[in-house]
Amino acid sequence: MTAEMPQVAAEFGGDPQITFPPAAAPAGLKVIEVVEGHGPVVRRGDTITVNYQGQVWGNPEPFDSSFARHDPTSFGIGIGQVIQGWDRSIPGHNVGSRLLISIPPEYGYGSRGVPQAGIGGGDTLVFVVDIIATR
C-alpha cells in the first residue's frame, strides 16, 4: 500500500512536505501511521486536538494547513463534526501519532467539493494529521 501513497517528509510536529507518486490516487480510504504515538488511544466521541495539512491529490499546494497557521484545532471525532474520512481513520490511533490519510470524494466533500478551496467534486484528498491530545 505504501508504494501507491505519497511520501511525507518531517517528523511529528514538523511542517509536512508531501511528495505524490506518479500513479493515480488509490481507491478507497487509506491510512498510514507515519509516526507511531505512545499516548492515549483516540476513541470515537473524544475531543481531539490536531495539527493537519490538506492537499488535493497531486497538487503541490495545500488547501488548508493548521501547521502554517501555527494554530492546532480541536473537535469531536467519530460523531460527524468533520468529514467521514477523518471520523473513520483517526479513532484507534494514539496521541503522538502522525497519520497520512488518502480520502476519496465519498468520504470527503462528495460531488459538491469545496470550489472556494480549490477542491473539485471528484478530488481525492490527502491529509497529514498529527494527533496532539485527546479527552
Instruction: Write down the residue that cell numbers 488509490 correspond to.
Output: 26
Cα dist from 132 to 42, 52, 128, whole Å: 10, 10, 13
C-alpha cell at 105: 470524494
The beta strand positions in the chain, using DSSP E, are: 7-9, 17-19, 30-35, 47-56, 64-65, 73-76, 98-103, 125-134
**pTM confidence score:** 0.95
Task: Give percent of the chain with pLDDT exceeding 70.
Answer: 98
Domains in the chain with CATH codes: 2-134 (3.10.50.40)
* pLDDT 10s digits, 100-127: 999 999 999 999 999 999 999 999 999 9
Supply the pLDDT for residue 1.
45
Spatial CA neighbour of 56 closest among 96, 115, 12: 115
